[in-house]
Chains A and B, each alone.
Chain A
C-alpha cells in the first residue's frame, strides 16, 4: 500500500519527506492540501495534524506529523532498503546523525527560513522585504556556515563519511536559498559548496526539487 503524504510539493517541509521517500525508493501518493482555502486549519486535516501544519503522512492505519519525525520513522522502518539515512546499526554514528539533525533544526533553520521569508515570501504578498532583518539573519547564518565549513573540511557529510538525514534536512531550504542573491554565502565557502554540489545532484534531490517552483 502506498504511503499517503498530505502536503504540497513547493512546501519545504513536504519536500523534506518526499526526499526521504525517494532516497528509500518507497511508493507514495501526494494528496494536495488546499492551503489558500485554509484546509490545513480545519477538519478533516486537523485529525491528521492537530496543529494545522503540513505535512502529515498515513502509512496504512498509522498516521504521523512533523516532517523530521516522519523521516526518522521512514528511515528506521525501511533501514535495510535504499540509502541508509539514520546509520541505525551503529549507535555512535546514529548519535552524530541526530546531533546534526538538531543543528539543522536549531541553528540553520531559523536564519535560513527568516531570510527566505523576507526575500521570497513577503514579496509574493506585496510586503516589502525588511533589509535589517535580512542583514541580521545573514550574519547569524554566516556564523553557522563557518562551523559547517570547518566540519565539512574534515568529513564528506555532516554526520561523517555517509549521506544521511542530517544532510537531507537542509536541502529544501537550500533549493530556494540558492536561487536568491544570497547564494554566495554557500558558494564562497569551498567545502560547504562542494557538499551542496554533491547533495543537490543526487537523483532524489533532482526529482523533488524539480517540483519546488515558488520563484
Chain B
C-alpha cells in the first residue's frame, strides 16, 4: 500500500515527511495541493487537515497530519527497517524528542520568519520586514552557537547516530542556505558545517532534492 502525501515537494514541512519515508524506503505518492490557488483552505482538503495546512497523509484507513507527528509514526512503524531514527534506548529516544522540540521551537520559527520576510513576501511583490529579518538572524546566530557546542560533543544532535532530530532540520537549513542566502550561518561554524555536510549528503536527502528539482 502506497502512502499518499498531500502537499508539494517544495514545501519544507512536506519535505520533512518525504525525507523520513525515503530513509525508511516506504513507497509514497505525492498528491499535489495547489497552495498558490488556496486549495489547502477548501472544504475538500479541510476534511484531511482541518487547519488548512500541508502535509497530510493517508495510509489505508489512517489519516494523519503535522509533519513531526507523521515522521515519528513512520520511524516507529518501520523501526526494524532501514536506519533507526528514534535512538536505541529510553534516554536516546528522549534526546531525539528534545532536539526535535528545539528544532520546532528554537530554530524553525526563526528560519520561517527569515524566509518569509526575505524570500516569500518579495516574491509576492510585497515588502519584507528587514528589521525583523535581521533580528531573527541575530537570534539564529545565538541558537546555532548552542548547536556548535552540542556538535563538538556528539556527531549528531541526539547522540552518535543520525535521527529524526537531525532529519527535521534538513528542509529549513536548505532554505536558509539557498533562497535566504544565509549559508554563512552554517559554514562559519566548524561542527555545524560538518554536521550539515554529513546529513545533506545522505542518499535519501539527495534523492528528495532530485524529486524536488532543487
Q: How far is the CA of A102 from the CA of B68 in the complex (A)?
A: 7
Q: How far is the CB of A189 from chain B (nearest CB, A)?
A: 15
A128 CB-CB contact with B under 8 Å: no
- B66 and A66 within 8 A (CB): no
For the complex, count residues of A whose C-beta is within 8 A of B: 30
| Chain A residues positioned under 8 Å from B73 (CB to CB) | 91, 95, 98
| Chain A residues positioned under 8 Å from B3 (CB to CB) | none
A71: nearest residue on chain B (CB-CB)?
B97
- B146 and A99 within 8 A (CB): no
Count class of interface residues, chain B: 20 to 34
Q: How far is the CB of B7 from chain A (nearest CB, A)?
A: 16
B64 CB-CB contact with A under 8 Å: yes
- B105 and A98 within 8 A (CB): no
Q: How far is the CB of A114 from chain B (nearest CB, A)?
A: 13
- A68 and B101 within 8 A (CB): yes
User: Which A90-124 residues sit within 8 Å CB-CB of chain B?
Assistant: 91-92, 94-96, 98-99, 101-103, 105-107
- A50 and B97 within 8 A (CB): no
B91: nearest residue on chain A (CB-CB)?
A62
- B51 and A147 within 8 A (CB): yes
Q: How far is the CA of A92 from the CA of B57 in the complex (A)?
A: 13
- A51 and B106 within 8 A (CB): yes
B100: nearest residue on chain A (CB-CB)?
A69
Q: How far is the CA of A103 from the CA of B104 in the complex (A)?
A: 12
User: Which B87-112 residues sit within 8 Å CB-CB of chain A?
Assistant: 90-91, 93-95, 97-98, 100-102, 104-106
- B64 and A73 within 8 A (CB): no
> Given A50-B146, A66-B102, A72 and B94 touching (CB < 8 A)?
yes
| Chain A residues positioned under 8 Å from B143 (CB to CB) | 51
A150 CB-CB contact with B under 8 Å: yes
- B66 and A73 within 8 A (CB): no
Q: How far is the CB of A71 from chain B (nearest CB, A)?
A: 9
A61: nearest residue on chain B (CB-CB)?
B91
Q: Can you list 8 A-B pairs, Cβ within 8 angstroms, ordered by A?
A: A51-B143, A69-B94, A91-B73, A95-B69, A99-B65, A99-B66, A144-B51, A147-B50
Additional A-B contact list (12), CB under 8 Å, known A69-B98, A73-B90, A76-B93:
A62-B91, A64-B94, A65-B98, A69-B100, A91-B77, A98-B66, A98-B69, A99-B66, A99-B69, A106-B104, A144-B51, A147-B50
Interface residues of A (CB under 8 A from B): 50-51, 62, 64-66, 68-70, 72-73, 76-77, 91-92, 94-96, 98-99, 101-103, 105-107, 144, 147, 150-151
Closest 5 A/B residue pairs (Cβ): A102-B66, A66-B101, A69-B97, A73-B94, A98-B69
